[in-house]
Structure 1
């Protein structure tokens, strides 16, 4: 399964939601899924 997460900030911005998205995406990949984080803030 390919999962897309969309949020306004991501690494190197560090906060609760950013950390959660990183851990969640890494966990999904470890379970054999594809995970993409789409960042709207460039």
Structure 2
């Protein structure tokens, strides 16, 4: 039973990786720019 679950999990992981790879190729939203403004000395 455990072996079957692992096989199914691996298949699902491979399918998810394929879908994510396709999304990365298709979706290009441009460059994300942000500023991190935090003073670590004063914890503000």
The bucket for the TM-score relative to the shorter chain is 0.3 to 0.5
TM-score by length of 2: 0.40
Q: Which structure features the higher share of strand residues?
A: 1
Give the structure with higher Rg (CA): 2
Q: Which has the higher contact order (CA 8 A, sep 6+)?
A: 1
TM-score by length of 1: 0.42
Q: Which structure features the higher share of helix residues?
A: 2
